[in-house]
Amino acid sequence: MIPGLERYFGILRGEAVAKFQAVRRVEAERVETLDEMWKQHAALKEKMKELLAAPPDEVLALPTPRYSLLHLKVDILMEELKRCGFCSRACGVDRTRRKGFCGCGEESHYASEFLHPGEERELVPSHTIFFNGCTFRCVFCQNYDIVHGTGKLALPWELAALIDLRFSQGARNVNFVGGNPDQHAHTVLATLTRVRSNVPVVWNSNMYHSEMLAEVIEDVVDIWLGDFKYGNDECAERYSGVENYWQVVTRNFLRAAQRGEVIIRHLVMPSHLDCCTERIASWVAENMGPDVRFNLMFQYWPAYRADQHPEIARTLIAAERRRAMDIVRRHGLWNLA
Ligand code: SF4
């Protein structure tokens, strides 16, 4: 058993219920205004917590109301989409009329979906769904073909059928990724209203989502599989074009750990051991404890436009890999798969 992921393993053993399956069993009422939706949402969150504590057989045997807390969440996101602040860029654009910075309008598109054998050992085989678009612009993006591609239209009923199919084929979870999944939260939640399997939901994210989005999706995310890329705002702005990175991402990791289970990924970058790896490991050990699942990743390669930045236009050298391992060991975080 990997510490910090007890609930996830409980779902896999049939001893716990995937959160969205509880959320879709909480009856809600259709209301007109966004204000009324948010008020009802706050009230029903408490009811959902009671359900999560009940035996899974009892929860799964409950009827699924025609309009549930999960439907209410979709309706909230469809309204919030008109002044989009799904991520901390807070573009404020009406995505029913035009696209935001992430390149996404109202519709969602995905590049591929399959049983992924290459994620963390506790997740595989993982049913990964790679959405297009991203809220970051990483100069070393390894998925730039996915991020900037057009992909297939993501229709909730089709995706739901695929999720049930992949679960029957042995998927241990459904893993929403990209790019980044945040800008597609409305589509993902609409999809989950139709999924029958008790499958854990993994949110494979850059952790730059807004507090508004966290408030809505944290009730359906079982594992936050979050990237912790940078140890300071300067590196984040230079390589990913984002502002206020440290404050947003540390806030989101703390909140995710309070309301769900977390796996932290840190991709070690050349020349960034002191400013990024050291500072991240130190913060994680101090604020999230040594038992948090921390995955130190060494697969950096200078993809996309990394050649425009000489200090990262190369792969890691052996001394940097050794140093990164020493840093996480020193902070007591050595629980790499
Ligand atoms: S998801 Fe983020 S980047 Fe995309 S439109 Fe909304 S606020 Fe902008």
Please name the residue that has the structure tokens 């706050």: 42
- Within 10 angstroms of residue 165's Cβ, the number of other Cβ atoms is 13
102 CA to centre of ligand 1 in angstroms = 5
Number of the ligand 1 atom closest to the C-alpha atom of 104: 4
Question: Which residues' Cβ are closer than 6 Å to ligand 1?
Answer: 84-87, 89-91, 93, 95, 100-102, 104, 135, 182-183
Which of 181, 187, 178 has the alpha carbon at shortest distance from 154?
Answer: 187
In this prediction, residue 336 carries a pLDDT of 60
In whole angstroms, what is the distance from residue 291 CA to residue 84 CA? 35
- The one-letter amino acid at 63: P
184 CA to centre of ligand 1 in angstroms = 10
Residue range 6-330 in CATH 3.20.20.70: yes
Domain ranges of the chain: 6-330
In this prediction, residue 289 carries a pLDDT of 85
DSSP 83-119: G--SBTT-----TTTS--TTS--SS-EEEEEEEESSS
| Atom 8 (ligand 1) nearest CA | 91
Instruction: Enumerate residue ranges in the chain where pLDDT < 70.
Output: 1, 334-337
Number of the ligand 1 atom closest to the C-alpha atom of 103: 4
Which of 322, 310, 209 has the alpha carbon at shortest distance from 260?
Answer: 209
In this prediction, residue 1 carries a pLDDT of 63
Which of 191, 113, 190, 180 has the alpha carbon at shortest distance from 152?
Answer: 113
- Within 10 angstroms of residue 132's Cβ, the number of other Cβ atoms is 25
103 CA to centre of ligand 1 in angstroms = 8
84 CA to centre of ligand 1 in angstroms = 6
In this prediction, residue 335 carries a pLDDT of 62
| Atom 1 (ligand 1) nearest CA | 183
Q: What is the pLDDT of residues 292-319, one digit of tens each?
A: 999 999 999 999 899 999 999 999 999 9
Number of the ligand 1 atom closest to the C-alpha atom of 87: 2
320 CA to centre of ligand 1 in angstroms = 35
In this prediction, residue 53 carries a pLDDT of 86
240 CA to centre of ligand 1 in angstroms = 15
- Within 10 angstroms of residue 143's Cβ, the number of other Cβ atoms is 19
104 CA to centre of ligand 1 in angstroms = 8
Residue of 77, 78, 87, 206 to mutate, ligand 1, most atoms within 8 A of C-beta: 87
In this prediction, residue 337 carries a pLDDT of 53
270 CA to centre of ligand 1 in angstroms = 29
Residue of 77, 86, 207 to mutate, ligand 1, most atoms within 8 A of C-beta: 86
